[in-house]
Amino acid sequence: MSVPRIQFKTLKGFPPAVEKKVETEAFLEAAKEIVTVIESFGKLFTPVINDMNGNITKLTKVYSKDKTKYVYLEDVVILNVNVDTYAADALLWLKRGLQLICTFFENIFYDAQATEVLKLHLQNAYERTLKPYHGFLVQSTIKIIYNWVPTRSQLIGQGEAHDENLQVLEKYLPVMRSHLNRVDALLKKYNLDDAKV
């Protein structure tokens, strides 16, 4: 039996929220972990990986300028809202990419039939998250990528390995989703979640 490409137990995951705020460094570390998860999908996913890494790098640059001032993700956005939207734009696109992956794994987790072919799960996740912001060319490229998604067994394993991954996902996904909802609300509050961007 082959080893699954992803072992969620090895991930630290997203940080617990402190006073309803998200720690910048811990959030960015968790986002980097998600990028390593996507890397296990295969080379065709390189554009998604590069995009997410680029946004993580941009946010890390801002955070590194003053780690005390930007200890919370909210401060990275709020303290720059009247200066420029560099950090907010990076966070917006990072959030969208993370929403895609979170929705994809929620689809896998809640699939009572434990479908082996995951193409429809990714297609559904893409249509619900990123598709509205992509033009025809990108949408066409994504349609090709659907066909190259690893199977359930390849991605999260079989038997004990599969069950263990699902057990970890049961705790992992709600925390990730709550962070994304918080970031979503923050960006909307400051009119930084532009549907046209």
Query: pLDDT, tens digit, for every residue of 100-158?
Result: 999 999 999 999 999 999 999 998 998 898 777 766 766 677 777 777 889 999 999 99
Does 16-189 carry CATH code 1.10.3520.10?
yes
Per-residue tokens: 186: 């923050």
d(CA 137, CA 103): 23
The interaxial angle of helices 24-39 and 159-189, nearest 10 deg, is 130
Would you state the pLDDT for residue 145?
Answer: 77
Stronger pLDDT, 92 or 147, i.e. the higher one: 92
Stronger pLDDT, 53 or 18, i.e. the higher one: 53
Helices (H), the chain: 24-39, 46-65, 73-78, 86-109, 119-128, 136-146, 152-156, 159-189
Domain-by-domain residue ranges, the chain?
16-189
* For residue 44, pLDDT beyond 90: no
Residues 6+ apart with CB under 8 A from 196: none
